Homo-oligomer: A and B are copies of this chain.
Amino acid sequence: MKKVTILDIAKELNITFSTVARALNDHPAISANTKKAVREVAERLNYRQNKIASSLRSGKTNVIGVIVPSLEVTFFSSVVYGIEQVMNANGYNILLYQSNEKMDQEANGIETFLQSRVDGIIASITTETTTFSHYEEIISRNTPLLFFDRYPKELNAPSVSIDDYKGGFIATEHLIKQGYKRILHITAERDIPIFRDRLKGYIDALKHHGLEVDEQLIIKGNFSLQFGKEVIRNAKSAGLIFDAVFALEDFTAMGVMHQLLEYGVKIPDEVGVIGFANEAFGSLVTPKLSTIDQQTLNMGKEVARLFLKRIKNNDVKPVAEEIKLEPLLIVRESSRKLN
């Protein structure tokens, strides 16, 4: 089966291939008749435009590179879901790359994107990304670069993320309003902006409501279900007194719940628990886990829209346009003491 090009169509109709090209692209200066004839022949010959050739000539690929740490993490796959949806509806395709939280893979991905001449790049950086020359390269090539969720402040690029400070604040405030007074907060060992912001929100909410900030109640470590359990075990053996837990993310909160239940502690009557991220399991466990929703789908759609807006306005200059999405408080059983 030989490949059919616009030349084949042209021959068939005894016109030049440039007329065919114009007809196919719905150029205004082509008569309706010609367009119709061209379309018919194209259909009959089973013609299919070669985007490669078109891209090479026009300098536009209609492809945007999306690089995320891993699709195994629901958060990222959900955002990519949103990005693909709106990009696709606007004629763009997604070239996908996973960095697996490795900076060198991240750099490779960007290199590939650049070689593929993508029309833009949307990224969320790895936890180990400390230098940004690979990202600067994108900017210096005038390729639009946007971030979501995990973005480097030193880069001056547009981004969409959730307001983690506010998330930490409302989670804590909710617990306070439910009557809890000694709220334990589990945060990350490493100084990662999003977790630091949640911590700040926690502290400010306490202060705002006239509660003491007790350093003993701020536990640092790796986040995981296992660590959540560990925290509760250690708290028990240390005789630490608390009546609520705000964990930096849901799996840790889950570990907390598991261990509390194992100790026979009543949730939410004796201890209230709230997580962060609104993982799918939260509404399925017993008691149902309260949490903060990060609007993942929305985040994807928002970056995509921001990208399209900047393309349209031809905003190539890097501006730190930071869009902050509202964190949503999801109150379920684990923290509802009052009615």
Contacts and interface: CB of A to CB of B under 8 A. Distances in A.
Interface of A: 1, 48-53, 55-56, 61, 63, 66, 70-72, 74, 77-78, 80-81, 84-85, 88, 93-98, 100, 111-112, 114-117, 140-142, 225, 254, 261, 279-281, 284-286, 297
Nearest to A61: B52
Nearest to A98: B84
B81 A70 contact: yes
Contacts of A95: 63, 93-96
Nearest to A112: B93
Contact of A74 (B74, B94, B98): B74
12 contacts: A50-B115, A51-B115, A53-B56, A70-B81, A71-B84, A72-B81, A74-B74, A74-B77, A77-B80, A88-B98, A281-B281, A286-B286
A149 to B, nearest CB: 16
Q: Across chains A and B, which 4 residue pairs bring their CB atoms closest together, nearest first?
A: A77-B77, A281-B281, A71-B81, A94-B96
Contact of A1 (B71, B77, B142, B261): B142
Nearest to A81: B71
Contacts of A81: 70-72, 77, 98
A71 B78 contact: yes
Given A1-B141, A72-B77, A77-B77, A84 B56 contact: no
A115 B112 CA distance: 20
Contact of A51 (B49, B100, B117): B117
A224 to B, nearest CB: 12
Contact of A285 (B66, B84, B111, B286): B286
Contacts of A53: 56
A334 to B, nearest CB: 13
A242 to B, nearest CB: 22
Given A50-B117, A52-B116, 9 more contacts: A52-B55, A52-B56, A52-B61, A53-B56, A63-B95, A71-B81, A72-B77, A80-B96, A285-B285
Given A94-B96, A117-B52, A72 B78 contact: yes
B280 A261 contact: no
Contacts of A111: 48
